[in-house]
Homo-oligomer: A and B are copies of this chain.
Amino acid sequence: MGLQIFKGNIIFAPAPGELKICARSHIVVKDGIVEGIYERLPEEYGKEPVKDYGERLILPGFVDLHVHASQLYQCGLGLDRELIDWLNDYTFYVESRFSDPAYAREAYSLFADELVRQGTVRACIFATIHKESTGLLFEILQEKGIGAFVGKVNMDRNCPDFLQEETEVSIKETEELIARYGRHPLVKPILTPRFAPACSGELLKAIGDLAKKYNLPVQSHLSENPREVEWVRELFPSHPTYSDVYLDFGLFGRYAPALMAHGIYLTDRELDLIKANDVMLVHCPESNINLASGIMPVRKWLNRGIRVGLGSDVGASHNLAMSKAIVRAVQLSKLLKIFSPRHEKPLTIAEAFYMATKGGGSFFGKVGSFEKGYSFDAVIVEDDPRIAGGLSLEEQFQRFLYTGDANNIIACFVAGRQLGLRCD
């Protein structure tokens, strides 16, 4: 790939809440890795071609830490329900269609296209229980050039017959997928027990064994809804908390990093476990309000030293765009302040943006920033010059996050490679 030089208005968040804005600057990329940012290009690069994006913004590509690829078709449907009813009445039926590989190929292609269109260049993805269609999802993402962790879902109880796995088959098929797709540089397997209520202790133990054997990361759901938390208490009476269930079975960061979506209702003990095991929580604000789950007290978790990234959680959320997750995270933190006046100050846009770039990107390595040594993952953003012309770069940035959409994203890059869709 060699040397690439891009020019434009570069904006990124090297630390939570801190925006670095480099007007009309050059970013030099070597073999997909950022070398440096220069207002004036050093002499050594003087004869290299420059891809000049003019007044457009160059932002780090977005990182979605929690998304269900099978659920894109159901966005916006059945949202008069809460979590458990929504799963039973809607989601499980939608997921059952992925037993058909032809259907899966079409649905997952649309999903991958939509990720790129929305500027999401890295994602941690739940597939379904189906081995063959999950394999297709690996291949489609590889082909598109998106960076991803992909998990075949495991579940062997408390779900409809048509989605319930035999414990041994679930493990065997998971291991087959690991063997087949475990060596790609950008699209990697991740262990994906659906959530504790849908998994027997035997299944959870076996998944923990896979985590150890292959040194594989884990993603699941944790403490999204009070009824769910209560249910876990009933199902695992000998475990003091929901987090202890995952911990006990080796799924809580023991062998490789773990991602837990939601984490709204957590006890002090759990917060300590999360911190001690460096588990990363995924805040999914749109989903949490659609399913009336609650609001994660993000500031409180951050202040305890817990890492928090952002997820779209499509399809409980109806928005795949991470810009919308950023805005919603800020909005919910303001509401938390209103309803719990002693709550710490709301998140700023720059803080939420960090969560959706460098914060979440840390799960992938050096991803989500334009500091030296980071993967050149980027989105190129353009706006209507009749409006953007009069605004500062920080205002243009805010305006894109609040009011922009896929139409404003004219190109995406992962590790220096431009993802196919539109040309500019």
Contacts and interface: CB of A to CB of B under 8 A. Distances in A.
Stoichiometry (number of copies): 2
Interface in A194-211: none
A39 interface: no
A180 to B, nearest CB: 29
Nearest to A395: B77
Given A294-B338, A386-B110, A387-B73, A80 B349 contact: yes
A175 interface: no
A16 to B, nearest CB: 15
Interface stretch (A134-142, A147-155, A329-337, A416-424): A329-337
Interface string A303-344: 000000000000000110000000100111011011100000
A33 interface: no
A257 interface: no
Contact of A79 (B332, B339, B398): B398
B292 A338 contact: yes
B399 A337 contact: no
A359 B50 CA distance: 56
A218 B395 CA distance: 34
Contacts of A349: 79-80
Contact of A399 (B77, B292, B330): B77
A276 interface: no
A290 B73 CA distance: 29
A403 interface: yes
Nearest to A314: B403
B338 A399 contact: no
Nearest to A73: B387
Q: Which has the most chain B C-beta neighbours within 10 Å: A76, A346, A391? A: A76
A3 interface: no
A348 interface: yes
A386 B332 CA distance: 34
A289 interface: yes
A45 interface: no
A295 interface: yes
A405 interface: yes
